[in-house]
């Protein structure tokens, strides 16, 4: 293989349709960086990088709303607490952010992705069923095969999540303007109705359910719902980690030092008694 052939093979291996860089030239999805700087918002840049083109103003507003709504939920959130502990143990900001973001998995941070997938299931079943019947089937399938906890509904802290209604209001406005279809909003509300009928009380949508409606309406695949959530929550993680750098805590544990913990292991015993 000649050197020219090797370079051509390497170029084919490291191929991308996202970023085009050469000496003195940078372009994202074909747009020169000098034309993007100062002219598009960060949410629009996220859309461009993930989707290949610029969003409409209505799409940009919805994406921006979802990003703003998910930025933070206080230090009792595991990812935020981990960021604070990491900084107190001497990690730099990037290390604290990486430690925190790595906790955003299925249990803490994955509900948005799961909710989009759940809505997709409702809409698929609704091709043959009335939407409430489709929602009932989708709920039963999820709780049987995944978890008794339905992603996107109810909240352990908020009786009614204050972030959900404003987000859904923006979706409804976008539907009225013809910017999105409203199919995902309909699926989510069908789930609410079915759950209310079954339980005798409303189990309202939370932030994950509402942002999942937005991501679904905007055409993002379920895994991207989690990825975009990570982008949003990284802002809160960075803010709390930076705040922690100004404090004197060292090796900050998961609870204040004056509180103990419950030991549930073997009672105190001696080695000689065990080995005799």
Same domain, 123 and 244: yes
The per-residue pLDDT of the chain, averaged, comes to 93
Phi-psi region of 176 (alpha: psi -120 to 50; beta: other; left: phi over 0): alpha
Rounded Cα distance, 23 and 225, in Å? 35
pLDDT band at 99 (very low <50, low <70, confident <90, very high): very high
Q: What is the pLDDT of residues 20-49, one digit of tens each?
A: 999 999 999 999 999 999 999 999 999 999
DSSP summary character for residue 54: P
Q: What is the pTM of this model?
A: 0.90
Other Cβ atoms less than 10 A from the Cβ of 253: the count is: 13
Q: What is the pLDDT of residues 168-203, one digit of tens each?
A: 999 999 999 999 999 999 999 999 999 999 999 999
Q: Does the pLDDT value for residue 273 go beyond 70?
A: no
Rounded Cα distance, 164 and 70, in Å? 11
Q: Which is nearest to 238 in space by CA: 91, 111, 43, 41?
A: 91
Identify the domain containing residue 44 by its residue range: 20-55
Rounded Cα distance, 57 and 67, in Å? 15
Mean pLDDT lowest among 9-18, 161-170, 175-184, 221-230 = 9-18
Rounded Cα distance, 39 and 28, in Å? 14
Helices (H), the chain: 3-13, 33-36, 42-51, 57-69, 78-88, 93-101, 111-125, 131-145, 164-176, 183-199, 207-217, 222-245, 271-275
Give the distance, in angstroms, between the CA of residue 188 and the centroid of all CA atoms in the same chain. Answer: 17
pLDDT band at 216 (very low <50, low <70, confident <90, very high): very high
Distances (CA, A) of 60 to 79, 157, 209: 27, 30, 19
Same domain, 75 and 48: no
In a domain, 103, yes or no: yes
Tokens at 253, concatenated: 């544990």
Number of folded domains that form the chain: 2
- SS3 (DSSP) at 181: coil
User: What pLDDT was estimated at residue 198?
Assistant: 94
Q: Does the pLDDT value for residue 268 go beyond 70?
A: yes
Q: Which is nearest to 45 in space by CA: 63, 70, 68, 22?
A: 63
Same domain, 39 and 152: no
Q: Does the pLDDT value for residue 59 go beyond 70?
A: yes
In a domain, 63, yes or no: no
CATH number of domain containing 77: 1.10.230.10
In a domain, 80, yes or no: yes
């Amino acid at each position: 293989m000649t050197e020219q052939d090797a370079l051509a093979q390497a170029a084919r291996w490291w191929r991308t349709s996202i970023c085009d860089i050469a000496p003195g030239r940078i372009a994202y999805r074909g747009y020169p960086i000098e034309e993007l700087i100062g002219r598009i918002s960060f949410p629009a840049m996220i859309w461009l990088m993930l989707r290949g083109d610029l969003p409409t103003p209505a799409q940009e507003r919805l994406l921006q709303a979802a990003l703003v709504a998910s930025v933070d939920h206080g230090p009792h959130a595991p990812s935020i607490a981990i960021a604070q502990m990491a900084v107190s143990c001497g990690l730099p900001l990037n290390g604290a952010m990486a430690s925190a973001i790595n906790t955003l998995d299925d249990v803490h941070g994955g509900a948005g992705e799961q909710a989009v997938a759940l809505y997709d299931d409702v809409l698929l079943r609704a091709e043959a069923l009335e939407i409430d019947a489709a929602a009932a089937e989708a709920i039963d399938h999820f709780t049987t095969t995944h978890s008794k906890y339905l992603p996107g509904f109810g909240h352990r802290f908020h009786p009614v999540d204050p972030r959900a209604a404003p987000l859904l209001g923006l979706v409804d406005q976008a539907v009225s303007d013809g910017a999105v279809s409203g199919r995902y909003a309909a699926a989510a509300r069908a789930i609410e109705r079915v759950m209310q009928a079954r339980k005798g009380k409303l189990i309202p949508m939370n932030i994950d359910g509402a942002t999942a409606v937005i991501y679904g309406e905007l055409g993002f695949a379920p895994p991207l719902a989690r990825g975009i959530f990570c982008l949003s929550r990284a802002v809160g993680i960075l803010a709390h980690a930076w705040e922690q750098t100004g404090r004197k805590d060292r090796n900050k544990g998961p609870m204040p030092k004056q509180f103990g913990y419950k030991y549930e292991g073997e009672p105190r015993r001696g080695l000689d008694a065990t080995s005799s």
